[in-house]
């Protein structure tokens, strides 16, 4: 099995496009906010934090907002590990026109996030087994429909865990849940503050890190996806950030024959992940055939050379 000490040459190649960031509320203002999954006003958000029944994705506070209990809200958000953004008041007004929001808006998550450290440890336990980990890292995918489509594809392809950045990326919103078509109930998604640090943590656990880029050095089918692998895809438009690219073990590309320069990130995810599934399924069939042959070998030998052989 490949180990990190062999990183220089990497596992034998067998593999694109991908495609960073604004505050989520600004994006909501452009797409139309989902009011059914939004809390606004100091008291509703404060009570949601106190009760802990609602899974808050993030809290947005308008610049210049002044409330005596704002410190309490910020303290509860910190203890609950809920992200807090500050944006111009005009952005909040655009997202919630005609609403008395008091400069405070909270987004309710559609599903729970996994603890990143716990997920990493679970992945490390799979290394070296018959079910090598397949991981997905998303570098600032901002469109919730793209994220939902990616998560649906990842679940179908048997991905063991997905990591997304805490900031400047879509979270597990109602739109994501709807597009994912039930996948959020079955796939583990964790948020991290630093993707570069995550890559190093994956490498320490003997998981190879593969970035997808239009200028990748090899085609995605050339990478050996049967080894422990983490595929990193970039956000819409700009692709992988420079530091993420530089930390990857290799970059793979999807060959394109048309005039458009890149695929939608969710499509690219499907193309590459199902190549990984194809390779792993083929390896599994080969392994089963070998096991079956080995199990039958003693019986065949006894029939050939045993005492009951007819002469």
pLDDT in tens, 93-136: 888 887 888 889 998 888 889 999 999 999 999 999 999 999 99
pLDDT band at 65 (very low <50, low <70, confident <90, very high): confident
Average pLDDT over the chain, rounded to an integer: 84
Quickly state the pLDDT bin for 288 (edges 50, 70, 90): low
**What are 134-146's pLDDT values in tens digits?**
999 999 899 999 9
This prediction has a pTM of: 0.74
Q: Is the dihedral of CA 27, 30, 31, 32 positive or negative?
A: positive
**Model confidence over 165-194: pLDDT tens digits?**
988 899 998 889 999 999 999 999 999 999
Q: Is 207 left (phi over 0), alpha (psi -120 to 50) or beta?
A: beta
| 56-62/104-108 β-pairing | antiparallel
Could you give the C-alpha distances from 175 to 29, 109, 172, 281, in angstroms and in order?
A: 14, 10, 8, 32
- For the chain, domains (ranges, CATH) are 4-20+112-283 (3.40.1280.10), 25-108 (3.30.1330.30)
Are 269 and 150 in contact by the 8 Å Cβ rule? The answer is: yes
């Amino acid at each position: 099995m490949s180990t990190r000490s062999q990183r220089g040459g990497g596992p034998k190649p067998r593999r694109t496009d991908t495609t960073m960031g604004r505050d989520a509320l600004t994006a909501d203002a452009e797409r139309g906010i989902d009011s059914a999954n939004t809390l606004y006003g100091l008291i509703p958000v404060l009570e949601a934090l106190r009760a802990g029944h609602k899974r808050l994705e993030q809290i947005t506070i308008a610049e210049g907002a002044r409330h005596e209990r704002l410190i309490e809200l910020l303290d509860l958000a910190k203890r609950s590990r809920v992200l807090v953004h500050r944006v111009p008041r005009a952005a909040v007004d655009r997202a919630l026109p005609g609403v008395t929001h008091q400069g405070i808006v909270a987004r309710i998550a559609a599903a729970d996030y996994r603890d990143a450290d716990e997920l990493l440890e679970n992945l490390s336990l799979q290394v070296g087994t018959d079910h090598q980990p397949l991981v997905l890292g998303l570098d600032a995918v901002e469109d919730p429909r793209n994220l939902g489509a990616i998560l649906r594809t990842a679940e179908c392809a048997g991905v063991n865990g997905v990591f997304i950045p805490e900031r400047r990326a879509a979270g597990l919103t109602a739109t994501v849940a709807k597009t994912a078509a039930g996948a959020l109930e079955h796939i583990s998604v964790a948020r991290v503050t630093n993707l570069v640090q995550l890559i190093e943590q994956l490498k320490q656990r003997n998981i190879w890190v593969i970035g997808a880029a239009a200028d990748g050095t090899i085609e995605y089918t050339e990478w050996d996806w049967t080894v422990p692998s983490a595929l990193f895809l970039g956000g819409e438009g700009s692709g992988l950030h420079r530091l993420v690219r530089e930390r990857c073990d290799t970059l793979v590309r999807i060959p394109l024959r048309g005039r458009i320069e890149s695929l939608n990130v969710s499509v690219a995810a499907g193309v590459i992940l199902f190549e990984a599934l194809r390779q792993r399924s083929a390896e599994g069939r080969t392994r089963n055939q070998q096991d079956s042959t080995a199990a039958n070998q003693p019986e065949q030998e006894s029939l050939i050379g045993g005492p009951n052989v007819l002469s």
